[in-house]
Structure 1
Amino acid sequence: MNKIISNYIQAHKQEILDQWIDRTKEEADDRVIRLVSDRVFQSTSKEFIDLIISNFKGTSEEYNERLTDFAEKVVRLGWPLTFVTKGLHTFNLIVFEGMQKEGVVTQENQMEIVYEFDRWATPMNNEIVSVYSSTWERTVSLQKIALQELSAPLIPVFEGITVMPLVGTIDTERAKQIMENLLKGAVKHRSEVVLIDITGVPVVDTMVAHHIIQAADAVRLIGAKCMLVGIRPEIAQTIVNLGIDLNQFTTKNNLKKGIEAALELTNKKIVSLEGAK
Structure 2
Amino acid sequence: MKESLQFYSTYLQKEKISLVQKLLKQVYKEIHISATSKDSLQVDMTKHQGLLENLLHRISLALLKTPKEQEAMHLKYDIHEYFFQEGTLLKDTVEILSEFRLQLMMNLKAQGIKQNIPNEDTLIVYEKIVFIFDETIRNTTTHFNLKHQEKVEAVENEILELGAPIVPLTKGIAVLPLIGRFNQVRVDYILSYVLPKVAEAHIDTLILDLSGVHVFDTFVAQSFFQIRDVLSLLGIEAIMTGIRPDLAQTAVQLGIPSTGLRMYNNVQHALESLNVL
Question: TM-score, structure 1 length as denominator?
Answer: 0.68
Cα distance, 1:147 vs. partner? 4.4
Percentage of identical aligned residues: 19
Cα distance, 1:168 vs. partner? 4.8
Whichever residue aligns with residue 83 of structure 2, its letter is V
Instruction: Give 1:23's aligned residue.
Output: 30
Paired residue for 1:92, among 94, 101, 112?
Answer: 101
In 2, are the aligned partners of 1:198 and 1:228 still within 8 Å (CA)? yes
Q: Which consecutive aligned stretches of 4+ in structure 1 deviate over 6 angstroms post-superposition?
A: 63-66
Instruction: Give 2:271's aligned residue.
Output: 263
Q: Which runs of 5+ in 2 are unaligned?
A: 62-72
- Partner SS, residue 170 of structure 1: coil
Q: Does 1:220 align with 2:232?
A: yes
In 2, are the aligned partners of 1:191 and 1:224 still within 8 Å (CA)? yes
Instruction: Give 2:50's aligned residue.
Output: 50
Cα distance, 1:178 vs. partner? 0.4
Judged with a 3 Å threshold, the aligned counterparts in structure 2 of structure 1 residues 9 and 189 are, in CA distance, closer, same or farther, namely: closer
Instruction: Give 1:162's aligned residue.
Output: 174
- Partner SS, residue 92 of structure 2: helix
Whichever residue aligns with residue 205 of structure 2, its letter is V
Q: Which runs of 5+ in 1 are unaligned?
A: 27-32, 270-277
Judged with a 3 Å threshold, the aligned counterparts in structure 2 of structure 1 residues 38 and 144 are, in CA distance, closer, same or farther, namely: farther
Instruction: Give 1:275's aligned residue.
Output: none
Instruction: Give 1:186's aligned residue.
Output: 198
- Partner SS, residue 194 of structure 1: strand
- Partner SS, residue 103 of structure 2: helix
Q: After TM superposition, list the pairs within 5 Å mapping 1:99-248 onto structure 2.
A: 103-104=110-111, 106=113, 109-134=118-143, 136-138=145-147, 140-141=149-150, 144=153, 147-148=156-157, 150-151=161-162, 152-230=164-242, 236=247, 239=250, 243=254, 245=256, 247-248=258-259
Whichever residue aligns with residue 247 of structure 2, its letter is A
In 1, are the aligned partners of 2:90 and 2:144 still within 8 Å (CA)? no
RMSD of aligned Cα (Å) = 4.1
Number of residues paired by the alignment?
Answer: 252
Instruction: Give 2:20's aligned residue.
Output: 13
Superposed CA offset, 1:161-186 (max 9, x none) = 11223345432233122013343233
Whichever residue aligns with residue 137 of structure 1, its letter is L
Give the distance between the partners of 1:66 and 1:134, measured in 2 at CA: 9
- Partner SS, residue 178 of structure 2: strand
Judged with a 3 Å threshold, the aligned counterparts in structure 2 of structure 1 residues 211 and 46 are, in CA distance, closer, same or farther, namely: same
